Chains A and B, each alone.
Chain A
Amino acid sequence: MSPGDLLLLTATLAVFGIAASAYLTWQWYEAANRTWCDLDAFFSCTKVRESPFSAVAGLPTAFVGVAGFGILLAFSVSALRGIERVGPFTTTRWLWIFASVGALVGIGLTFIEIFVIQAICLLCAIGFALDLGILAVLLVLPRGAAHT
């Protein structure tokens, strides 16, 4: 795949990351009185949603995913439009930074899910997998891909 293909793939993964995170955010507000997507005691979105880790400063944690994937989408679209540099870094470097931050946050939240809450939220896991997918794409993206 060409650098353009890889950047478009990054943008596509980011779009689905936004979709998954936005749905989780909506569910956090809307499903307050019901359990949801609970397959059993371990794969239990309710257990995750009702834990203290489901919100940060009153905002659902999933909203962080919406913002994070939104930033990844913005930088990948910028790179596709030939914008090589934004501020002090190249657009590719910015993608690396935010994808890495997202992966670290995802690792931390997954650790908390498994060992503290002892439950997994399926959509949260999908969001984490999408971020890891973006990181994998960036691994094969040539340096300076925004400029051919």
Chain B
Amino acid sequence: MATKKCPVCEVPVKLENLERHVRNQHPRAAVDLKTLLTDEEREETAQARRASARPAVTRKGATIIAVVAVVLAALLVLVIFNPLGNVGPGIGQVAPNFSVRSTTGTTVSLSSYRGSIVLLEFMDVDCPACNDEVPTLVSLHQNYSATVRFLSIDVNFVDELDTDVKIDAWASSHGANWPYALDVGGTVRRMYGVTSTPTVFVLDADGVVRALVQPPANSYAHFVAAIAAASGA
């Protein structure tokens, strides 16, 4: 903090104390207090006053806060991106085999579909996007069922628990007459790393994933292209 000589006693006094010094030490002096300091000097004292009023951050405190920040960042990354989650088979990888009980009571194994292209859909009858997609799948089934096998797995993400009866009724109402199965316990969903519905894996005749179809890229044309990729065309 700069100092300035008192106009009365000429003793150097800190700028911030000068007015008080003149007022207290030289009460009878004919000094205009308003002109004691220039505008720049007043601004300097105001800034110094504000700086001294700022709460100090200690080194230990800053370290603790940095640790808290790192922990929170890691937590947000885990929740948003889930890097530790099972990512499931990627394109070019063999789709894991599984067996499920269909809604009609028969056992369906993915391996029994080898030799055909497979559209393996993960859905939920209560999922709005799944309801939007099913007409497309019904059209595909009408046109490709001779060469493509369809299998839908209800992963029960949304609303109350789905049942075989509910799934069957839903499928019938949409004209979807291929096997549906309820993923009891979420086993198949975890195996495939499914975190959203609808998700459709398109497998080639050897059971290798050749395409993954998800909204918004799930139009009829997208599925046709995926089937073409699976057929090696």
Could you tell me which A residues sit within 8 Å of B by CB distance?
A: 1-9, 12-13, 16, 19-20, 23, 33-38, 40-41, 44, 46-47, 50, 79-82, 84, 122-123, 126, 130, 145-148
Contact = CB atoms under 8 A, between A and B. Distances in A.
Given A34-B197, A126-B76, A148 B56 contact: yes
Interface in B51-96: 51-58, 60-62, 64-65, 68-69, 72-73, 75-76, 79-80
A21 to B, nearest CB: 11
B54 A81 contact: yes
B186 A4 contact: no
Contact of B55 (A50, A123, A146): A146
Interface core residue of A13, A35, A79, A146 (most chain B CB under 10 Å)? A35
Contact of A16 (B76, B80, B129, B160): B76
A5 B76 contact: no
Smallest CB-CB A-B distances: 7 pairs: A5-B61, A4-B55, A82-B53, A82-B54, A4-B57, A38-B157, A33-B215
B62 A41 contact: no
B79 A37 contact: yes
Interface string B98-132: 00000000000000000000000000100111001
A80 B214 CA distance: 48
Contacts of A145: 55
